[in-house]
Amino acid sequence: MSLVNALCMETLFLGLGAHPRCLVMDLVDGEDIPLSDRAEAGVPVLPRPQRVSHPFFMYDMIRGIPTSFKKVVEKMRAYPEISPKEHIYFTGSGTSFYAAWMGSQILNGLYGYHLIESNELVWYTPIVNGSITIGVSHSGITKSTVDALAKAKGRGSFTVGVTHHADQPISSFSDVTLIVGDGPDLSRCHTKTYTDSAAAVLILALGLLRGRGHVDKELESEFSGHLAGKMVEALQESEAEAIRAAGDLTTVKRVFILGSGFNVVTAREAALKIKESSYISAEGISLEEFLHGPWVTLDSDSLVVSVASRDASIDRHTVALRAAKKLGAKTMAISDEHLDVDYLFHIPRTSIILSPFLTIIPLYFFAYYLSVRKGNNPDYLRYLEPAYWEARNIIFPPGTH
pLDDT, position 311: 65
Is the model's pLDDT at 20 over the cut of 50?
A: no
Identify the three-state secondary structure at position 211.
helix
- Stretch 14-30: mean pLDDT: 33
The answer, yes or no, to whether residue 254 has pLDDT greater than 60, is: yes
* pLDDT score at 298: 98
HSE-up (13 A, CA, CB side) for residue 148: 29
Q: What's the pLDDT at 44?
A: 60
Provide the 10 A C-beta neighbour count for residue 31.
8
DSSP 340-379: --SEEEE-----TTTTHHHHHHHHHHHHHHHHHHTT--GG
Domains 62-215 and 234-379 alike in fold: yes
pLDDT at 7 over 70: no
Domain ranges of the chain: 3-49, 62-215, 234-379
- DSSP-derived secondary structure letter, 280: S
The predicted-structure confidence for 97-111, as pLDDT tens digits, reads as follows 999 999 999 999 889
| Arch. (CATH architecture) of 234-379 | 3-Layer(aba) Sandwich (3.40)
CA atoms within 13 A on the CB side of 354: 23
pLDDT band at 378 (very low <50, low <70, confident <90, very high): very high
Q: What pLDDT, in 10s, does the model give residues 185-206?
A: 999 999 999 999 999 999 999 9
Asked if residue 48 lies in contact with residue 23, where contact means CB atoms within 8 angstroms, the answer is yes
Q: Which of 6-10, 146-150, 325-329 is least confident?
A: 6-10
Q: Alpha-carbon distance 92 to 100, whole Å?
A: 7
Mean pLDDT, the chain, integer: 90
Q: What is the band of 14 on the pLDDT scale with cuts at 50, 70, 90?
A: very low
When pLDDT is cut at 50, 70 and 90, the band that residue 401 belongs to is confident
Report the range of poorest mean pLDDT among 122-131, 211-220, 228-237: 211-220
With a cut of 90, say whether residue 42 has pLDDT above it: no
Phi/psi of residue 152, each to 5°? -60, -45
The Cα 203–Cα 71 span in angstroms is 13
Evaluate whether 329 touches 320 at the Cβ level (below 8 Å).
no
pLDDT in tens, 114-144: 999 999 999 999 999 999 999 999 999 999 9
CA dist 299 and 301 (Å) reads 5
What integer is the mean pLDDT of 36-64?
81
94 closest CA partner among 125, 65, 118: 118
Considering the chain, what percentage of its residues have pLDDT values greater than 70?
Answer: 89
pLDDT of residue 80: 86
Q: Please state, in angstroms and rounded to a whole number, the distance separating the CA atoms of residues 290 and 324.
A: 11
pLDDT band for 29, please (50, 70, 90 cuts).
Answer: very low
**CATH assignment, 62-215:** 3.40.50.10490
319 close to 290: Cβ distance less than 8 angstroms: no
Bridge-partner residues for 160, per DSSP?
134, 176
